[in-house]
A and B are shown apart, each in its own frame.
Chain A
Amino acid sequence: KAGVTQTPRYLIKTRGQQVTLSCSPISGHRSVSWYQQTPGQGLQFLFEYFSETQRNKGNFPGRFSGRQFSNSRSEMNVSTLELGDSALYLCASMAGTTDTQYFGPGTRLTVL
């Protein structure tokens, strides 16, 4: 089975712009979670989608949003980018509720 894929792998944006990141989970996995990872804060949960419904949401502002499509692929969008949004954005998929998570390689976002 192919692993979790994320596109793009690297992205450079300027303040005020918006960005859309994509995640394709492992085939058959219906749960996709998104995380922001920074050196200071570590891995922080953004949101989780399961069968196209947001099941959990972390403590991030409304500028961060996501969605999941019927084929389980997921996108996350960050609007009005700020310098502090520079981070590694990771998605992870799992088959059920508390199964093992499989992480993608991440998208490195730099906001200038």
Chain B
Amino acid sequence: KNEVEQSPQNLTAQEGEFITINCSYSVGISALHWLQQHPGGGIVSLFMLSSGKKKHGRLIATINIQEKHSSLHITASHPRDSAVYICGFADGLTFGKGTHLIIQP
């Protein structure tokens, strides 16, 4: 069993929809990392969080360390949000397999 599980694996939605991507993990960690990877390969760090909630523009990330669960939300989704979203431990050793998100106009 993977230490980090993401759901859904694939998600297609219409522009403007509220998007939620989930990340569950099986071991205790101090912080979690959310990454975004656009087609072509480049990976960008979105959030590093150890508790509560962080917001950047239309992106919101939440984490519950006790329940070993984190969510990434996208409000008013746009086609440019189409990417692979990856969660992983902050030490960089373990990542989920990613959620492929497609936002259709």
Contacts and interface: CB of A to CB of B under 8 A. Distances in A.
Interface of A: 33, 41-45, 48, 56, 58, 88, 90, 92, 94, 97-103, 105-106, 108
Interface residues of B, number: 21
A48 B92 contact: yes
B61 interface: no
19 contacts: A42-B97, A43-B98, A44-B95, A45-B93, A45-B95, A56-B91, A92-B43, A97-B91, A98-B30, A98-B48, A98-B91, A99-B48, A100-B33, A101-B33, A101-B45, A102-B45, A103-B42, A103-B44, A105-B42
Interface of B: 30-31, 33, 35, 41-45, 48, 86, 88, 90-98
A45 B96 CA distance: 11
A64 B92 CA distance: 18
B96 A42 contact: yes
Contact of B93 (A41, A56, A103, A105): A56
A59 to B, nearest CB: 10
- Per DSSP, chain A at the interface is strand
B91 A103 contact: no
A48 B91 CA distance: 10
Enumerate the 10 nearest inter-chain pairs by beta-carbon distance, A residue then B residue, closest first.
A42-B97, A103-B43, A43-B95, A98-B90, A106-B41, A100-B45, A45-B93, A33-B92, A100-B48, A42-B98
A108 B45 contact: no
Contact of B31 (A90, A92, A94, A98): A98
Given A43-B86, A98-B31, A108-B41, A92 B98 contact: no
